[in-house]
Structure 1
Amino acid sequence: MALTLPEAAKLSTDTLQRGVIEVFARNSAVLEMLPFMDIAGNSYKYNQEGVLPGIGFRDVNEGYQESAGIVNQLSEGLIIAGGDVDVDRFIVQTRGNVNDQRAIQTQMKTKALSLAWTKTFFKGDVAKEPKGFDGLEKRLTGKQVIDGKGGELTITMLDELIDAVEGEPDVIYLSKAMRRELKRVIQSHNGYDEGSYDAYGRKVMTYGGIPIRVIETDANGNEILGFDEAGGTASLYAIKFGPEQYVSGLQNGTISVRDLGELNEKPVFRTRIEWYNGLAVFHPRAAARLSGVIKKDGGSGSSKPAVKASKKDGGSSATSETKPESSK
């Protein structure tokens, strides 16, 4: 059975483990929504739909022309993610009880791991970090990457991104800066809404019923989906989740949290957080990326001239502005 991390936290009977899982999910809009399949062993083989078989029509006493679909067999290995939290015995004794001091450090370590995993989900590249896994930027190719061609975000681009996903995506991920661009574009459209909430009761913006979720900075304070791609552009991602069908996480057991007590070699209390996990994309159209999008001002800080509405066009569009005439 596949569970999201918030669901797994509810089922955990270990208070320390439950707290760590909740911090993982609360600090990442990806880990909050992504289902994780429990698997046996350290890898998982699966078939990804390639080309569907052909069909035909026949007359009486005629046969069908045989054809078979193409299936791509893929394999995903699990990675080991985690870290140790050491708190000096002196700090524990002089600055409060053991649970308070160690809990603070454990929460900080967990948040850092959550942000690092989220960055790998999008930007992971085993050629650069062989101990990790390939993220969506590396996995998505061909028609699953819509080229914004260095232009400002438009409603057409957004709809193309949504349409590139099988059925309808469960979420669109972007940075806070890109959210401002998107809000500017969709605010005047009927599909815009701010009445939805996430798993923790936080308000979420939606477009056409699809949640728009923000990806925060990484553990070093750098934007994960910032305007730092080629030419000062940024990307948005549309994703459909589902175990064995679309995008799903893999794990062998849930997040492990172990209190190792005081170490013999030095006077510190150690807590170890560890997680054997991976990522699988079961359908070729389970996710899509809109790349090459710039800010409205082109990222230079200077505003572009506004587009003046003409009577021929019947007024300005949702993204156009009428330039006021200067007084003479």
Structure 2
Amino acid sequence: MPLLRDEAAKLSQDDMVRGIIEEFADKDDLFGILPFSPTTGKALVYNREKTLATGDWLDPNDEVKEGASTFDEVTTRLRILIGDVDVDKFIDGTMSDVNSQKAIQIASKVKGMRTQFRDALINGLQANKQFDGLNALVHANQVINVGGHDMAFSMFDELTDAIRLGANCVMMRSEHIRAYKAMLRLMGGNTGGLIQLPNFDRPILAHDGVPIIANDFIKKVDGKADIFAFHLDEHAGLHGLFASQHPAGFSIEDIGTVQNKDATRTRIKMYVGMALKSTHALAKLSGVKLPAAPAPIGG
């Protein structure tokens, strides 16, 4: 859909404050710690251990039996997230007195597509032409069903223990973050569980030294939501993928004049995927009860 004159007029007013007041939050702690690795092809293929070969205890002169380990071949495809922005040349030339029409539309488009990407990190499905997100990647043996019970510290012990390589992040909805803080306060303190990470400009909540980050793209179902833990690592853990000939993020391409109208077209695209090298690098608590909404002030 091209930039409409009515929308352009909102951005071109004599008394308008320069710039745009952002209404849609664009902050995601996961971006601060998720590693990305390049791949030269349209997919990354790797082998995951399936069974380990063992030896035998023998008496002298016993026959030695042969045994080999087996592996599963795993393929993770890159997916395409792409969109165009058309800006009428007349509007861009006459209504960019306060705010650049083209620059604002490109920035807003990138922001909207970034939101799509963040949702896919959790809920993506290859069937929807996306890459598989955490819900699809987590192995059934790594799902801990808590049956809708209230949050407890023991749940986090079990969750982080499930990450055999060592959990380096726990992720949950902001409501669960507040519930975790409430549990800390009941113990007589509210700062003991905080740590400082190099990629953040503020203290981060932690469980036994494992940072806890918020992600509200985790879906709520019947007053419950999942909580994830993972090991981030390009070699054996969870990490993002990008095409080696393109940037690890959105690229912006000037297509030029649209053939059938007096407008310029800009294309925003990203070739991206996500890989889980070891199934033991990801686990989740399924169906943790969300805290009740607080009563309205004065109510």
TM-score, structure 2 as length reference = 0.77
Structure 2 residue ranges without an equivalent (≥5): 1-25
SS in 2 for 1:150: coil
**Structural RMSD (CA):** 2.9
Where does residue 68 of structure 1 map in the other structure? 68
Choose which of 208, 211, 235 in structure 1 pairs with 2:226: 235
Q: Determine the structure 2 residue equivalent to 1:290.
A: 285
Q: Distance in 2 between matches of 1:192 and 1:88?
A: 55
Task: Give the length in aligned residue pairs.
Answer: 265
More contact order relative to length (CA 8 Å, sep ≥ 6): 2
CA distance in 2, matches of 1:191, 1:167: 27
- Partner Cα separation in structure 2 for residue 60 and residue 287 of structure 1: 45
Contact 1:170 1:240 in 2 (8 A): yes
Q: Secondary structure at the match of 1:152?
A: coil
Query: CA, structure 1 residues 63+191, in 2 after alignment: closer, same or farther (shift >3 Å)?
Result: farther
SS at match of 2:273: strand
Q: Aligned partner of 2:162: which letter?
A: A
Is the 1:197–1:203 contact (alpha carbons within 8 Å) kept by the matching residues of 2?
Answer: yes
2:41 aligns with: 41
> TM-score when scaled to structure 1?
0.71
1:149 counterpart residue number: 147
Matched, 1:225 2:223: no
Paired residues of 1:194 and 1:204 also in contact (CA < 8 A): yes
Per-residue displacement from partner, 1:15-40 (whole Å, max 9, x unpaired)? xxxxxxxxxxx733333322222112
User: For residues 273 and 281 of structure 1, what CA distance do their matches in structure 2 show?
Assistant: 27
* Partner secondary structure for residue 100 of structure 2: helix
State the partner residue of 1:4. Answer: none
Distance 1:35 1:190 in 2: 30
- Give me the identity figure in percent: 29
- The alpha-carbon deviation at position 285 of structure 1 amounts to 0.5
Are the equivalent residues in 2 in contact too, given 1:44–1:77 (CA < 8 A)?
yes
Counterpart in 2 of 1:321? none
- The 2-side partners of 1:287 and 1:135 are apart by 11
Q: 1:177 corresponds to which residue?
A: 175
Unaligned runs of 5+ residues in structure 1 are 1-25, 217-223, 302-328
Say if 1:167 and 1:184 are closer, same or farther in 2 by CA, change over 3 A: farther
Any residues of structure 2 matched to 1:114-125 within 5 Å, and which? 114-125=114-125
Q: Distance in 1 between matches of 2:125 and 2:67?
A: 37
Counterpart-to-counterpart distance in 2, 1:132 and 1:49 = 26
Aligned to 2:276: 281
